[in-house]
A = this chain, B = another copy of it.
Amino acid sequence: MSGLRRPRVGHIEFLNCLPIYWGLMRSGALIDVDLTRDTPVALNDRLVAGELDIAPISLVEYLRHADDLLLLPGPAVGSDGPVLSVNIVHERPLTELDGARVALGSASRTGVLLARMLLADHYGIDATYFSCAPDVPQMLRKADAAVVIGDVALRALYEAPEQGLTVTDLGEQWKAWTGLPMVFAVWAVRREFAAAHPGQVKDVHDALTRSVSLCLDELDIVAASAARWEPFDAATLAGYFRTLDFSLGERQLTGLREFAARAAALGEAPPLAVGGPLLFEG
């Protein structure tokens, strides 16, 4: 007989996290968490505000709030090459975009920062950036390039070519630039919660780990199920899920540190502590 409070866990309502939801559901672990499903930005804010105990968080937001958080040693949302769903959509080649206007159609802070890093530091492009709703045709009426993330970006990948537009995959670009995997989101726990309830955090981490493994086994079923409701067919979804890298091993951590160093150099986040990131160790 307990009466404990279930840990408050965030879940991203994008396709990229559907495999993790599937695993939590099929394993029965969903019953042991108080799950909040929301957009990445809303979850970032709620974790930082202490309204959630454990949640996925955009990498750059984690870096900004690393003092209050510990990283779970997995899962993560990243890619070791193309990610398919973090894209710049443009008409002219990227190399001709100096002085251009770039519409940022997403509040996904890591993807947007990566786009700016690549354009400025890799392509040497001085552009003007502005935020707007993530609607590619609308964005390109007001800008020369559009940065989009998530389900909208995945759709653009399939629709843009027939509109004469080029799609640049930011995961692929990062890999070409640095040779490393890119990590877009990590799972973090509030330090005070981890100190008070290490057993619960370990259970959630174990459940997430099992969920990833379980969903990878059933990926074609997940894809067929999701295809009933999403504007993508099962093969596209299965390909997308297989492209994503849900792991957070040494290579991914090296990619994460590289991004952190570049973000810090731009003044976008404090530098990662020496030996960081600090991981939760159940």
Which residues of A pack against B, CB within 8 Å? 1-6, 18, 21-22, 25-26, 28, 30-32, 221-222, 225-233
**Distance to closest chain B CB from A210 (angstroms):** 14
Question: In the complex, which residues of chain B have a beta carbon less than 8 angstroms from the beta carbon of A231?
Answer: 1-3
Contact of A2 among B28, B222, B230 (CB under 8 A): B230
**Distance to closest chain B CB from A79 (angstroms):** 23
Question: In the complex, which residues of chain B have a beta carbon less than 8 angstroms from the beta carbon of A26?
Answer: 25-26, 28
A2 to B30, CA, bound (A): 27
| Interface contacts beyond A2-B231, A3-B230, A26-B26: sample of 4 additional A-B pairs, CB < 8 Å, sorted by A | A2-B229, A22-B28, A25-B31, A32-B225
Q: What 9 A-B pairs have minimum CB-CB distances, sorted nearest first?
A: A3-B231, A1-B233, A25-B25, A25-B30, A6-B229, A31-B225, A4-B229, A2-B228, A26-B28
Question: In the complex, which residues of chain B have a beta carbon less than 8 angstroms from the beta carbon of A22?
Answer: 28, 31
Question: In the complex, which residues of chain B have a beta carbon less than 8 angstroms from the beta carbon of A221?
Answer: 28
A30 to B18, CA, bound (A): 11
Asked if A4 and B228 sit within 8 Å, CB to CB, the answer is yes
Q: A25-B25, A26-B26 are in contact. Are A18 and B2 (CB under 8 A)?
A: no
A26 to B214, CA, bound (A): 13
A28 to B28, CA, bound (A): 10
**Distance to closest chain B CB from A65 (angstroms):** 28
**Distance to closest chain B CB from A10 (angstroms):** 15
Question: In the complex, which residues of chain B have a beta carbon less than 8 angstroms from the beta carbon of A229?
Answer: 2-6, 32
A225 to B207, CA, bound (A): 14
**Distance to closest chain B CB from A189 (angstroms):** 18
Question: In the complex, which residues of chain B have a beta carbon less than 8 angstroms from the beta carbon of A5?
Answer: 229
Interface centre among A1, A4, A225, A233 (most CB of B within 10 A): A1
Asked if A21 and B31 sit within 8 Å, CB to CB, the answer is yes
